[in-house]
Copies of this chain bind each other. A is one copy, B any other.
Amino acid sequence: MKACGLIVEYNPFHNGHLYHQEASRTKTNAEVTVAVMSSSFLQRGEPAIIDKFSRTQAALEHGVDIVVELPFIYAVQYADLFAYGAVSILNALGVDYLCFGSESGDITEFTKNYDYFNAHEDLFNEIRQNHLNEGESFPQASTKAYEAIGLRDGKLDLGQPNNILGFSYVKALRHLNSYIQPETITRTKSHYHDETIDYSIASATSIRKDLFNAGELSDLSRKALPEETIKQLINYQQASGLWHEWELYFSYLQLLVQTHSHEQLRHIHGMIEGLEFRLKQTVNQANNFQEWMELLKTKRYTWTRLQRMFVHLLTNTTKTEVDQYKERKEPPYIRLLGMSSRGREWINLRKKSLDVPLITNLQQLSDPLLNIEERATDAYYSPIPPQKRYSLKRQEIKGPIILK
């Protein structure tokens, strides 16, 4: 049984992923789909609208066979570290393919360019570091460095967000000397930032906006979202009383900024130089999260960068903690969140040859990475009333979700 690995978030803007999932399987002829999924917070620095258990359920109902957790420490990071964490898990699991969507859609462009990149990697790192030192964001600096070593014009366009992410996957595969074969499909035109709902393939931002403005599922969202996702959105709102968004965490973030010293803020991962002062200066000027972000945002402190920093502030994730996981070749564990019966078959075949413990709940192992994961879950659930929160949290120590 060949398995195809996907790296996903399954926040209710799945359609892109659903399409991607379908297409990947067709392309690789794999019989099993294994998804590495972000847990409570997403790569762009946002709380997932519904929790990881609901998203696992939706993913399984959408036809994914296995869902494993992308540890929080890797999930809310710039492309290279996000990719490294996710790929190291697929590699430890031993899938056969890794499929991703890209603007390019041609895998040879990625692999060919990797060889070129590899020969110029030192120069690339130096140039990127210079741009980072000048205060540019990670994607900006990366794009410029790719360009400077001659990796943009006429070859793979590393100014496109999905190409950048895909190239990070290929780099991670090579760094890990992985046997996994990369494959890519063209990513359709619905972009991340579109603000109006597209009936066929809706973007994250437009659905999110629609959800939070109405506080309930509008007809538009119902048309744009797959049935399984709608079911999970409704179930989750019944169980928790809410859908997660930054506004719900605003007063927690304010309290943390108000009560931390500058020195303490500087320990937080993502607190770029000077940002601690800007946070303190603006904390009492905004009436909500959106307003605060507008006050904070500059060319240097991009929206994504600020949001990621807020995730790390909320969860008290320090620079020291993240640095420990940057160069790790193997994940300390693989956590299974859910599986179909076909997924279970595949897992049973793979089980014996795994070098890494396969766990299904939070108490099965004692590991610092799991403590960080629990912190992230706790912080994520904070705005939910205690009684409801406990039954949600209890899922952390149940077995995996099994689709019959």
Residues of A whose CB lies within 8 Å of any CB of B are 250-252, 254-255, 258-261, 264, 284, 286-288, 314-316, 374-375, 378-379, 382-383, 386-387, 390, 393
Assess the A251–B382 pair: CB atoms within 8 A. yes
Q: For the complex, give the distance between the alpha carbons of A85 and B251 in Å.
A: 31
Q: A254 CA to B383 CA in the complex, in Å?
A: 11
Instruction: Check A259–B387 contact: CB distance below 8 A.
Output: no
- Of all A-B residue pairs in the complex, the 3 with the closest CB atoms, nearest first, are A259-B316, A258-B378, A287-B386
Q: In whole angstroms, what is the CA distance A375 to B252 when docked? A: 14
Contact between A393 and B315, CB atoms less than 8 A apart: no
CA–CA, A390 and B316, complex, Å? 26
Q: A260-B316, A316-B260 are in contact. Are A255 and B390 (CB under 8 A)?
A: no
Determine whether the beta carbon of B250 is less than 8 Å from that of A382.
Answer: no
* Interchain residue pairs with CB less than 8 A apart (8): A255-B379, A258-B374, A259-B378, A261-B316, A284-B393, A286-B386, A287-B386, A287-B390
- CA–CA, A360 and B163, complex, Å: 59
**When the two chains form their complex, are residues B250 and A252 in contact, meaning their CB atoms are under 8 A apart?**
no
Bound CA–CA A374/B251 (angstroms): 16
Residues of B near A382 (CB, < 8 A) are 251, 254-255
> Smallest distance from the beta carbon of A258 to chain B beta carbons, Å?
4
Query: Could you list 4 further interchain pairs (A-B, Cβ under 8 angstroms) beyond the known A251-B383, A284-B390, A286-B386?
Result: A250-B386, A259-B379, A287-B386, A287-B387
Which B residues lie within 8 Å of A374 (CB)?
A: 258
Most buried by B among A250, A252, A255, A288: A255
With A and B bound together, what is the CA distance between A255 and B249 in angstroms? 11
Task: Give Cα A379 to B284, complex, Å.
Answer: 12
Name the residue of chain B whose CB is nearest to the CB of A252.
Answer: B255
A380 nearest CB across to chain B (Å): 10
Which of B314, B315, B386 is within 8 Å of A251, CB to CB?
A: B386
Residues in B neighbouring A387, C-beta threshold 8 A: 287
Identity of the chain B residue whose Cβ is nearest the Cβ of A285 in the assembled complex: B390
Q: Which residue of B is nearest A315, CB measured?
A: B259
